[in-house]
Amino acid sequence: MDANNFDCIVLGAGIQGSYTAYHLAKKKKKTLLVEQFVLPHSRGSSHGHTRIIRKAYEQDYYTRMMSECYQLWAQLEKEANVQIYRNTGMLVVGKEDCSAFRSLRGTLLRNNVPMEVLSPEQFASRFPSVRLPPGESAVIDKTAGVLHADRALKAVQDLFCGLGGVIHDGEKVVDFTPGSPITMTTNSGMYRAQSLVITAGPWAKSVLARTGLQLPLQVLRINVCYWKERIPGTYGIGRHFPCFIGVKQHGAKHDIYGLPSNEYPGLMKICYHSGSETEPDERDRQTSQEDIAILSSFVSKSFPGLDPTPAVVEQCMYTVTPDSDFILDQHPSHSNIIIGAGFSGHGFKLAPVVGKILCELALGKTPSFDLSPFRITRFQSLLKSAL
Ligand SMILES: Cc1cc2nc3c(=O)[nH]c(=O)nc-3n(C[C@H](O)[C@H](O)[C@H](O)COP(=O)(O)OP(=O)(O)OC[C@H]3O[C@@H](n4cnc5c(N)ncnc54)[C@H](O)[C@@H]3O)c2cc1C
Ligand SMILES: O=C(O)[C@@H]1CCCCN1
């Protein structure tokens, strides 16, 4: 077989593409994973030390997918011999009259997820360093915790290579021609494959536009803010401080979330679940600071043990769909082009199952989960292309 002929090519080596490539290589498929930047890199959505893993979701389908994700993350830890998951639990705080908060709590109860409901008194004694606003309630998802993201990404890529997979990094895909096989051109080579999986993160919209498909994806620049503990360790992982999500607290339009201080000692990560729209290649052009102002006000009201001015601000990007659900589907006009996109700021924890589904689609198999929430046809009225 020609060295440039593959069973499958995966475009984009973020967590979704890397996990897809790993599943394909496990199925003994000759797989090429192509990445425009030299690995590791911090220009997409999968870099950084940490991500939240949780079962607490508003929708049952994510909570159900998470059961298998926990198993697959554990399997990855074993195969790669690295610790990726650390259980911390996660506090979810919100108003009783907030439907998102009630749905999230309902999903935990319906799916028998280990959880606790805290009264305001229990909250105050368990978390004396956090202020619960009057009229708000709190639950704990006990399965939740932190994923060591950079480590996870490297582990998946290393295992993929160990299974015979090929990574070409520093190689940008500039063109591809649908067909059977598909022909793909990069800035330094030409390849053929029976199927192509597109997991291009924030670049998905422009990559897919080459095929005439205009997906309703919006790229947001996210400020990843770290806040200094007045007394180091107050909110530390070593003291079992949990992750948290504040559901639209203090009148904020979007959720605010945090992870215990860990990767940068004495600094706690607290971020706003939204940002300003950007072009992926222009992420570093500073625009609005509105999110940081919202966070500062939140920190001073809810976390009195933190200095309310961010000590470190890093950048990352979300690629969001109109309903915040992922896109996991075949291309509407080319069934051997598979699309994994629009992870809307919550896709990392689900990558083991996303990768499994994209692998199944690439091999023409029936996917092991119901894909109706993830189909492109749900955007029918928004799609600009003639499908
Ligand atoms: C600040 C922040 C916090 C988050 N928190 C959480 C969390 O707590 N829990 C959680 O589960 N998820 C979280 N997420 C979401 C999660 O990180 C993303 O959903 C996930 O990383 C998306 O991965 P991806 O592979 O789709 O994208 P990416 O990581 O961006 O990968 C796409 C890759 O494709 C490459 N590429 C694009 N075009 C080309 C081309 N033409 N040729 C070659 N390569 C190309 C890119 O360079 C990139 O490496 C967070 C995201 C951010 C930004
Ligand atoms: O996917 C997650 O768990 C987090 C929740 C808060 C927003 C960012 N993503």
Strands 85-87 and 145-148: antiparallel
Catalytic residue IDs: 47, 50-51, 269, 273, 316, 349
Atom of ligand 2 nearest to the CA of 346: 1
Q: What is the DSSP letter of 241?
A: P
Decide whether any atom of ligand 1 lies within 6 Å of the 328 Cβ.
no
Q: At 65, which helix (H) or strand (E)?
A: helix 60-80
Q: Mapped to the 3 state alphabet, what secondary structure does 298-347 carry?
A: HHHHHCCCEEEEEEEEEEEEEEECCCCCCEEEECCCCCCEEEEECCCCCC
**pLDDT given at position 384:** 56
Confidence at 265, pLDDT banded by 50, 70, 90: very high
Encode pLDDT of 342-369 as tens digits: 999 999 999 999 999 999 999 999 999 9
Q: What is the DSSP letter of 247?
A: T
Averaged pLDDT for residues 281-294: 88
Pocket test for ligand 1, best of 45, 217, 220, 271 (most atoms within 8 A of CB): 45
Averaged pLDDT for residues 230-240: 96
Residue 288 has pLDDT above 90, yes or no: no
Using the CB atoms, write b or e for 54-79: b if 16+ within 10 Å: bbbbbeebbbbbbeebbebbeebbeb
Decide whether any atom of ligand 2 lies within 6 Å of the 257 Cβ.
yes
Encode pLDDT of 199-218 as tens digits: 999 999 999 999 999 999 99
Output the average pLDDT for the chain: 96
Strand partners, 271: 257
Encode pLDDT of 62-109 as tens digits: 999 999 999 999 999 999 999 999 999 999 999 988 999 999 999 999
* Closest CA relative to residue 350, chosen from 331, 376, 326: 326
Q: Which ipTM score applies to this complex?
A: 0.99
Decide whether any atom of ligand 2 lies within 6 Å of the 320 Cβ.
no
Amino acid in the structure at residue 156: V
